A and B are shown apart, each in its own frame.
Chain A
Amino acid sequence: SQLAEENPWALSVHEGESVTVNCSYKTSITALQWYRQKSGEGPAQLILIRSNEREKRNGRLRATLDTSSQSSSLSITATRCEDTAVYFCATDRNVGDNSKLIWGLGTSLVVNP
Chain B
Amino acid sequence: EAAVTQSPRNKVAVTGGKVTLSCNQTNNHNNMYWYRQDTGHGLRLIHYSYGAGSTEKGDIPDGYKASRPSQENFSLILELATPSQTSVYFCASGEELGGRYAEQFFGPGTRLTVL
A70 beta carbon closer than 8 Å to chain B = no
A100 beta carbon closer than 8 Å to chain B = yes
Known contacts A43-B43, A100-B48; is A48 also within 8 Å of B103 by CB? yes
Q: Which listed residue (B40, B90, B101, B109) contacts A98, Cβ 8 A?
A: B101
A58 beta carbon closer than 8 Å to chain B = no
CB distance from B61 to the nearest CB of A (A): 13
Which of A31, A44, A99 gathers the greatest number of chain B CB atoms within 10 Å?
A99
| Size class of the A contact interface (CB-based, 8 Å) | 20 to 34
A103 beta carbon closer than 8 Å to chain B = yes
Q: Which listed residue (B4, B94, B106, B109) contacts A99, Cβ 8 A?
A: B94
A42 touches B108 (CB 8 A): yes
**Contact pattern, A 15-56, Cβ under 8 Å of B = 1, otherwise 0:** 000000000000000110100000011111100101000000
B92 touches A42 (CB 8 A): yes
CB distance from A93 to the nearest CB of B (A): 10
Within 8 A of B (CB), among A65-113: 88, 92, 97-101, 103-106
- How far apart are the CA atoms of A30 and B102 in the complex, in Å? 11
Q: Can you list 24 residue pairs at the A/B interface with Cβ under 8 Å?
A: A33-B101, A33-B103, A40-B109, A41-B108, A41-B109, A42-B108, A43-B43, A43-B90, A43-B104, A43-B106, A44-B105, A48-B101, A48-B103, A88-B42, A88-B43, A92-B101, A97-B96, A98-B101, A99-B50, A100-B48, A101-B104, A103-B42, A103-B43, A105-B41
